[in-house]
Chain A
């Protein structure tokens, strides 16, 4: 018994060929293409209008930090002890969250993209690219009991020079990061991703909760509310993962399971890249082992639809 028997068994188990004709899918595909092009056109116009408006109002050089200004982070009360952690690399490792799976098995994906997409904040796309300066090794000088300052932190690059290792934003908020995109992603998708990165990298929990509430974002396989999802240590881990994944990895496109709606899912990640997530502080070796036994990545995933709807952020299976 061997390969030929397995081939025969599979051939048998696959049943007969179809009596269904799929050639009629051409029309639906072209309609999807037109919708995508329309979404890209609308998003591009909105972006252009935003840029023109910013210049007209005296924004000037949008790539200047001064013109953007630091966002005001919202730091939860329970960050007092962790705010004094000083070594960025150590923080990245020791704060690695266990991305444990939600055990509940209800809807895993978000509502469809028919909800009203809120894409009225394209300013995030004007954020400057991350700098390539040396890693920040100095501990925060601010009073550890007060809110962390978003202006002092710089992203820490890993040994390979490509990975941007962020400290937990709720300890050290970071501004000026640019989301990693993909050529085929729609402008609306990228604007939403940039908005999420801006909120996460400054630990703007109120902003994230408001956005998730507005978008009916699915944040767990159960019924976790945005307030619960971003509360406590688990919320800090989620914020850290959100920022780290958006800034480091491109999205996978077209993987939507809700009919013909194309969507973007961060991160697009090969198995060889999984250890990077440990370096980023958003996964543990235990997580990697569980993904290996599962047969695929089931760590944090961020879903944004083509029209900019933030449909989900989930971990587990």
Chain B
């Protein structure tokens, strides 16, 4: 029986990767609840194509779905205000994260700055500086040329420097990736 083996492989993959991918999804969309929806949909799609993806790069497949679906959601709903509970406020929608609310609030500025970027620039920043992907890997995930990755990164860093000058110096913004 193949199915139990595939099932186990899939479960192992999800267990190993769900943490990092969910955190990346939060940076894509700025909202922990939408991020969970995005990642759940991505894993469902992965499961539906597990036979053809398992021997390749399921990680890259999920990243690609996450990016595309986050862009689709962005197109559908426009720029969403990144979610952030007020300091000291209990997150009534998700009691599981109460211990991390203050830390989540602390990161609101960064998520807001990311939310101001066009989706592809945001994805380049997340993939490069959060997921440590190479230019070639980013190009593969986003379906663009390596040169475009560089130009998008440069534009993104310039924009981030405007919103977070303390975080990104001029040299980094000019130097790109």
A-side interface residues toward B, CB under 8 Å?
A: 1-3, 5-7, 9-23, 25-30, 32-33, 36, 105, 107-109, 252, 254-257, 259-260, 262, 270-272, 293-296, 298, 317
Contact = CB atoms under 8 A, between A and B. Distances in A.
A271 B169 contact: no
A256 B27 CA distance: 20
Return the 8 tightest CB-CB contacts between A and B, nearest first: A29-B47, A295-B118, A13-B107, A257-B72, A17-B19, A14-B23, A13-B110, A25-B43
B138 interface: no
Interface of B: 7, 10-11, 14-15, 18-20, 22-24, 26-27, 32, 36, 39-41, 43-50, 65, 68-69, 71-73, 75-78, 96-97, 100, 103-104, 106-108, 110-111, 114, 117-121, 125-126, 129-130, 143-145, 148, 152, 160, 164, 166-169, 171-172
A78 B118 CA distance: 39
Nearest to A269: B143
A22 B121 contact: no
Contacts of A262: 45, 48
A30 B48 contact: yes
Nearest to A28: B44
B41 A260 contact: yes
Nearest to B126: A10
A317 B74 CA distance: 9
A61 to B, nearest CB: 36
B47 A28 contact: yes
Q: Is the interface of A mostly helix, strand, loop or mixed?
A: loop
B107 A18 contact: no
B18 A22 contact: yes
B103 to A, nearest CB: 7
A14, A28, A259: most-surrounded residue (chain B CB, <10 A): A14
Contacts of B50: 29
A263 to B, nearest CB: 10
B13 to A, nearest CB: 9
A298 B75 CA distance: 9
Contacts of B48: 29-30, 32-33, 36, 260, 262
Contacts of B71: 296
Contacts of B125: 6, 10
A229 B103 CA distance: 49
Nearest to A298: B75
B14 A7 contact: no
A257 B65 CA distance: 10
Contacts of A14: 23-24, 26-27, 107, 130
Contact of B45 (A16, A32, A105, A107): A32
